[in-house]
Amino acid sequence: MMAEEILNIFLMYIKAFAVGGAICTIAQIVINITSLTSGKILVFTMLAGVILTALGLYQPLVEFAGAGATVPISGFGYLLANGAIKGAEKGFFYAVTGSLTAASAGVTAAVVFSFIMSLIFRSRTKRN
């Protein structure tokens, strides 16, 4: 029983690594072959997560890969779209605010931890 659980956990890590790595590889290829800025690629990747969620294609990927699909920026698009879809079941106002509600914990954590790090560390320009 113990060996079977360890094998399942190992396979879960492999699936997450493969899917997350594939998403990041696609983004890196786009960076290498186009003249798009990183910010534009970031937005396009997030919008791809929104569109794939709206088409019902991202949810099976999340169920298969777990964090491998939710941690990359396309997962943030999935989170926003999923919140809006669930909110739309309650009405128009909730469709607009559902994505904000779904993403609020992650955004709050990013702001709080960024503030704490800014108190601990000092930024400086990189010297060549």
Domain ranges of the chain: 2-120
pLDDT tier, 120 (very low <50, low <70, confident <90, very high otherwise): very high
Angle in degrees, CA 32, 34, 38, rounded to 5: 75
The gap from C-alpha 88 to its chain's centroid, in whole angstroms, comes to: 21
pLDDT at 1: 64
pLDDT at 41: 92
pLDDT of residue 25 exceeding 80: yes
pLDDT of residue 123 exceeding 90: no
Q: Radius of gyration over alpha carbons of the chain, in Å?
A: 18
- Angle, in degrees to the nearest 10, between helices 38-54 and 2-33: 130
Distances (CA, A) of 3 to 9, 75, 90: 10, 31, 45
pLDDT of residue 85 exceeding 70: yes
pTM of the model: 0.79
Tokens, residue 19: 């899917």
Buried residues in 75-85 as b, exposed as e (16+ CB within 10 A): bbbbbbbbbbb
